[in-house]
Amino acid sequence: MEFSTEPMKPLAEALAQMIGNELEQAEGLTVRRVEEDIRQRLRELGQMTFGMILTHQDPIPEREVTCECGGQLHFQRRRMAKVLSVFDWVEYERSYYAGCECGKGKAPLDEKLGLEPGQVTAGLAALIGLAGSELAFEYSSRFLEPFLLFRVSENTIRKETQQFGELQSQREEQMVARSQDPDHLQERLRTETERPGRLYGSIDGAQVRIEERQAQNPKNEKWREMKVGCFYQVESLPESQQSKRHHNKKARGQPALRAKDMHYFCDIAEVEAFEPLFWATACQTKADLASEVVFVCDGARWIWNLVERHFPQAVQIVDWFHAEERLEQVAEDAFPKEKAKEWLDETLTELWRGNTSFVIKACEKLVSRSAPASNAMTYFRNNAHRMRYDHFRFNGYLIGSGTVESACKQIVSHRLKRSGAQWNIQGAVLTAKARASWLSGDWHQLCSLRDRLPLAV
């Protein structure tokens, strides 16, 4: 909404005069004190103005309105109500109707504007929901107070954050329905003109502590895996933004790359239940239309089964750092320190060159005395075709799954694993989905959906 500030100048001058007169009497005047006083008065002004605007939306009451049941409601009186807004509690007056045989009453203005007395407005909901997706609910309440100039309760922040997670869940349900509609998919094939070139996907999992009220679990807690996925594109990192780490990678023949346009999705669910969300998000990001799809993941079997069912032609890459970590475990377990470094340097060099047969044989020789070597041998045999790192580097592919590992940290570790955090499954999932939407740049879409809801219930 665009507007001119010219008509506001007299109001600003009057406010400046009023605050200036009061501050002349104050001791220890500082710029911060002036700022705080102006902000507080503007909040109070907004509080009054918002209430007046709401009241003026319902100027002349009708004598009768139609009830939901089909009967007639009769005008009773003008009734006061209040809502919690970005300006604190705001009071407004509107027409109230009752007298239908069904016994129900209503205020048409509330229905028209999506208001529910005693609850939170959509504008405030967007702010506190964002804070709750970023910070612990209790901390969010204290953190927001200096910005809002009033306190919002921890429970209100929790409710609104998880409401945004529920809206994201509803968006995902619609995405799943579209992605399983053959007519919709065929229409996209015919009409979609903007198609990605090379698109990446990564999937991983992170553990979340869930409180369970069950007699068979005396500690009332259980760790559950939050599956996290991401579709994204990759771009070359400008020379001016390359760190020493990037220069070291270039020296080894790996291009300096970074992820962009990340789109995250997550859930606590078994693979069968997670799969529709994976495919729906793939369609949402046009992965199904991309000229080339590259998956960079760890060696988990369930991940690659998922990829192969939906993207059998995709380039499959086992994340370099997971493979490197496997060999580090073998070296540490099978050799003394100096010998371990020598063995590790040699095997990593061959792995970097794509010589997985050398690595498999090196692990096979240690099987009799090292359990990690036995596990690593199987791991490299099963994933040899996903470890052609020389080929991948030559073709300019990103070979590290840092994007989704970062997502696990940002969504799970940063938000769900805070000290003292306690979650049930629903709360953890909805909070994670709200945060994933924010990280994906989709928060504005959830805010649009929130605008259409009645105020928080």
The full set of domain ranges for the chain reads 197-408
Average pLDDT estimate for 35-52 = 93
Question: Is the pLDDT assigned to residue 236 strictly greater than 90?
Answer: no
With a cut of 90, say whether residue 348 has pLDDT above it.
yes
Is pLDDT of 455 > 60? no
Confidence check: pLDDT of 219 > 70? no
* pLDDT per residue as tens digits for the range 358-390: 999 999 999 999 999 999 999 999 999 999 999
Q: What is the pLDDT of residue 456?
A: 39
Range with the lowest mean pLDDT among 64-73, 235-244, 285-294?
A: 235-244
Mean pLDDT for 130-140 is 94
Which is more confidently placed, 406 or 315?
A: 315
- Structure confidence at residue 374 (pLDDT): 95
Share of the chain above pLDDT 70, in %: 93
Range among 248-257, 310-319, 444-453 with highest mean pLDDT value: 310-319
* Mean pLDDT (whole number) for 136-163: 95
Non-local CB neighbours of 39 within 8 Å, separated by 6+ positions: 149
Res. 213 pLDDT band, cuts 50 70 90 = low
> pLDDT band at residue 1, thresholds of 50, 70 and 90?
low
Residue-wise pLDDT for 245-292, tens only, equals: 544 554 455 667 888 999 999 999 999 999 999 999 999 999 999 999
pLDDT at 218 over 80: no
Residue 117 vs residue 221, higher pLDDT: 117
Identify the pLDDT of residue 453.
65
Mean pLDDT score of the chain, rounded to an integer? 89
Tell me which of 248 and 336 has the higher pLDDT.
Answer: 336
Asked if the model's pLDDT at residue 6 lies above 90, the reply is: no
Q: Average pLDDT, stretch 227-253?
A: 71
Across residues 103-120, what is the average pLDDT?
A: 90
Mean pLDDT to the nearest integer, 217-225: 75
